[in-house]
Structure 1
Amino acid sequence: MIFHIAEVSDWQAAQVSGDYRVSTRGRSLADEGFIHAARRGQVLGVAQAFYADAGPLLLLSIDPDRLSSPVRDDEVAPGIVFPHIYGPINLDAVVAAAPLRREADGRFILPS
């Protein structure tokens, strides 16, 4: 399983369009050339670094075997590897879309 942090409005738009094309906050698949994803242990760090001041968020759980677009692990810094999806996310590859909630102090909590 790989994961993607999505703004609720972007996920709702994908339900209408038929696929998901947001790479990361404020950047599209067309802008970046891929969609950022993460392993479970990387999600909270990404959330804190890039979404601390964002509105309502969802954590999309994506089954890579169901994706119609290729996934590749890319080294983003020495020894740091993240999965990237090189094309749109077909909606049936998303097996869950759960709220990414915060503690009162602002720290994110992974959905169970």
Structure 2
Amino acid sequence: MILHFCTAAAWADAQRAGEYTADTLATEGFIHCSTAAQVHIPATIRARGRTDLILLEIDEVRLPEPPRWEPGDGVDTENLFPHVYGPIPVHAVIAVHPFPPEPDGSFAPPKGLV
């Protein structure tokens, strides 16, 4: 299981389209994902304080290609993060979870998924 955070609106668009494509797929060639223990790191750096985020729980087996585990992009270069090189089919998303920030705007590892 890997996770990707996005807005609820982006997920609604993906459901209508049948696949999820983050803007980084066009700009970087892949969709950034994380483990449950990592997802709070990029979320805090890139989306501090946002209240419209959700977590997509992705079954790696349902992806057309397995994710590539690669160093982070300056966020955390010591850990490997799963990168998905292509759109994520909506059927690969097995659950959607709320992802609210902490009172200080940071994000914490999601309870129950770590």
- Same fold at TM > 0.5: yes
Deviates more, 1:36-45 or 1:65-74: 65-74
The aligned amino acid for 1:108 is F
Q: Give the structure 1 partner of residue 10 of structure 2.
A: 10
Partner Cα separation in structure 1 for residue 111 and residue 91 of structure 2? 20
Judge conservation of contact 2:43–2:107 (CA < 8 Å) in 1.
yes
Judge conservation of contact 2:44–2:107 (CA < 8 Å) in 1.
yes
Q: Structure 1 residues 108 and 31, CA, compared in 2 at 3 Å: closer, same or farther?
A: same
Deviation of 1:107 after TM superposition, in Å, equals 3.2
| TM-score of the superposed pair, with normalisation by structure 2 | 0.84
Q: Give the structure 1 partner of residue 62 of structure 2.
A: 66
| TM-score of the superposed pair, with normalisation by structure 1 | 0.85
Tell me which stretches of 4 or more aligned residues in structure 1 moved more than 4 Å: none
Structure 1 unmatched ranges of 5 or more: none
Partner Cα separation in structure 1 for residue 49 and residue 105 of structure 2? 9
Structure with the greater relative contact order (CA < 8 A, sep ≥ 6): 1 or 2?
Answer: 2
Judge conservation of contact 2:50–2:101 (CA < 8 Å) in 1.
no
Q: How many residues align?
A: 108
Judge conservation of contact 2:70–2:80 (CA < 8 Å) in 1.
yes
RMSD: 1.7
Judge conservation of contact 2:19–2:88 (CA < 8 Å) in 1.
yes
Structure 2 unmatched ranges of 5 or more: none
Residues 73-92 of structure 1 deviation map (CA, whole Å, 9 limit, x = unaligned): 01236532111001000111
